[in-house]
C-alpha cells in the first residue's frame, strides 16, 4: 500500500515539476526581455530548475495547507453539506457562507483593475485576483458537467493554480530585476585561449552560464569551450495605463504652455 502511494506520488510529481520548471524559466526570460526559445538550455536544466522555485512553492503550499487544516479543525472536519444541513435554517446559512466567495470575486476584479491602472506595484494582487476569477470560471464551466469532480479535487486544482500563477509572476519579476541587480552579482572568471575576463554571473546551468557584460548586454558562456553567445535584453517597466495616461497629459499640458 505504501509502495503504491509512493509510486503514485512519483508519477504525479514528475510532470508537475517539469510544468513548474518550464513556467519558471519561460517567465524568467520573458521578464528579462528575451524568450526561452532564444536560450541554449536543455532538458536537464529544466529538471534541475526546481531548485530555484522549490522554496517559494513549498512555503506557499505549506501556508495554504496549514490554513486549510486549521479551518477544517474549527469546523470539526465536517463537509459543507453536513454543516449546512445541521442548521435550523439551512438556506440562510448557505447564503451566509457564500458571502466571502462573492466578496472575493469583486475583490479579484478590483485587484486586476488596480494592476491595469497602477502597474507592477500591484503584481501579486493581480495574481491573487486572477486566481480567484480563474477558479470561478472553472467552477462555472464544470457546474452540471458530465465530469464528476469532487470538492477535494477542486481544492487540488485551486492549489495548483495558485502555485502556477504566483510562480509565473515571481519569476517574471525576478527576470526583470536582473537589469537592476546586475552590478551586485557574483564575479566569475571566464577563461579563454586569448584572455581571462571577469564576468558577473547571473545564473549557472548545466553547460552554460548567463553573464552580464555591460548595460543591457549579456552572454551565454559555455563551460567546456568558453564559447560565448552574446545578446541584448531589456524590458520596460509596466507602470499601468493610468500612469501612462497621466504622463501623456502632463507632456501635452507642458507643450501647450510653452
Half-sphere exposure for 196 (CA within 13 Å, toward CB): 3
Give dist(CA 211, CA 217) in Å, integer. 9
Give the strand pairing for 186-191 and 196-204.
Answer: antiparallel
According to the model, what pLDDT value does residue 195 have?
A: 46
Show pLDDT as tens, one digit a residue, over the chain (258 residues). Answer: 555 655 666 666 777 777 888 888 889 998 888 888 888 888 788 777 777 777 767 777 777 778 778 877 877 777 777 777 877 787 887 788 777 777 878 888 898 888 888 888 888 888 888 888 887 787 777 766 666 666 666 667 777 787 888 888 888 888 888 877 655 455 555 555 544 556 688 888 888 888 888 888 888 988 887 678 888 888 777 777 766 665 555 555 555 555
d(CA 254, CA 258): 6
Residue-wise pLDDT for 213-225, tens only, equals 888 888 898 888 7
DSSP helix/strand/coil, 13: helix
Say if residues 24 and 164 touch (Cβ distance below 8 Å).
no
Torsion on CA atoms 247, 252, 253, 258, rounded to nearest 10: 130
Q: Which of 103, 19, 84 is nearest to 57 (CA)?
A: 19
H/E run at residue 12 = helix 2-32
The three three-digit cell numbers of residue 234, written as one number: 531589456
DSSP string over 87-130: SSSHHHHHHHHHHHHHHHHHHHHHHHHHHHHH-GGGHHHHHHHH
Helices (H) and strands (E) in the chain, counts: 8, 5
Distance CA 155, CA 72 (A): 13
**What pLDDT shows up at residue 47?**
73
The model's pTM: 0.73
Cα atoms found within 13 Å of the Cα of residue 252, Cβ hemisphere only:
6
pLDDT at 255: 53
d(CA 24, CA 39): 14
Tens of pLDDT, residue by residue over 89-137, are: 878 877 887 777 778 788 888 988 888 888 888 888 888 888 888 877 8
Amino acid at each position: 500500500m505504501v509502495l503504491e502511494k509512493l509510486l503514485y506520488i512519483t508519477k504525479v510529481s514528475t510532470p508537475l515539476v517539469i510544468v513548474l520548471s518550464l513556467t519558471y524559466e519561460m517567465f524568467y526570460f520573458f521578464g528579462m526581455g528575451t524568450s526561452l526559445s532564444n536560450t541554449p538550455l536543455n532538458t536537464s536544466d529544466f529538471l534541475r530548475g526546481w531548485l530555484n522555485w522549490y522554496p517559494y512553492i513549498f512555503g506557499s503550499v505549506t501556508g495554504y495547507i496549514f490554513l486549510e487544516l486549521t479551518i477544517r479543525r474549527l469546523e470539526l472536519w465536517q463537509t459543507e453539506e453536513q454543516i449546512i444541513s445541521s442548521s435550523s435554517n439551512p438556506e440562510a446559512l448557505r447564503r451566509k457562507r457564500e458571502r466571502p466567495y462573492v466578496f472575493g470575486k469583486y475583490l479579484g476584479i478590483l485587484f486586476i483593475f488596480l494592476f491595469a491602472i497602477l502597474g507592477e506595484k500591484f503584481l501579486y494582487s493581480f495574481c491573487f485576483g486572477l486566481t480567484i476569477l480563474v477558479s470561478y470560471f472553472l467552477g462555472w464551466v464544470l457546474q452540471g458537467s458530465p465530469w464528476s469532480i469532487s470538492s477535494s479535487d477542486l481544492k487540488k486544482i485551486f492549489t495548483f493554480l495558485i502555485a502556477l500563477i504566483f510562480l509565473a509572476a515571481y519569476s517574471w519579476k525576478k527576470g526583470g530585476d536582473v537589469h537592476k541587480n546586475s552590478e551586485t552579482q557574483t564575479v566569475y572568471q571566464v577563461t579563454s585561449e586569448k584572455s581571462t575576463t571577469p564576468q558577473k554571473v547571473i545564473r549557472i546551468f548545466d553547460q552554460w552560464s548567463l553573464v552580464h557584460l555591460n548595460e543591457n548586454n549579456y552572454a551565454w558562456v559555455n563551460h567546456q569551450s568558453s564559447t560565448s553567445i552574446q545578446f541584448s535584453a531589456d524590458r520596460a517597466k509596466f507602470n499601468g495605463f493610468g500612469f501612462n495616461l497621466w504622463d501623456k497629459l502632463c507632456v501635452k499640458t507642458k507643450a501647450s504652455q510653452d
